[in-house]
Amino acid sequence: MSGRKALLRAYKERKVEAGVYAVRCLASGEVWVGATPDLSTRQSGVWFSLRQGSHREPTLQAAWNAHGADAFAFEPIETIDAEGLDAFGRASRLKDRRAHWIGTLSARGLN
């Protein structure tokens, strides 16, 4: 098996963890909370849209523009056990836990 095929197989066989994450601005203390079906890939998507200046959360984009990438941290804060849940059940659980963490951290919501 070629190296490329082995990498593709490993990617497809990896365990995907759904969960809730926080994006923190270390300079201002602001926090944004989001939920995703795949925590392992979410940071790269958020950082990409911020670098492009196209993130859909204007307060996060403004803080990124003001303080720069080095002032931000991505933090998974909870994984969700989605085993046995259909897509609707998983989405509902993610939404509930996201709301919990927004309240707990006095954060703004993402998604």
Q: Which fold has domain 15-109?
A: GIY-YIG endonuclease (3.40.1440)
Structure tokens at 82: 């989605």
pTM: 0.86
Q: What is the pLDDT of residues 64-105, one digit of tens each?
A: 999 999 999 999 999 998 788 888 999 999 999 999 999 999
Domain boundaries in the chain?
Answer: 15-109
* Band of pLDDT at residue 1, cut at 50, 70 and 90: low
* Rounded-to-10 torsion of CA 43, 34, 53, 58: -160
Q: Does residue 109 contact residue 98 with C-beta atoms inside 8 Å? A: yes
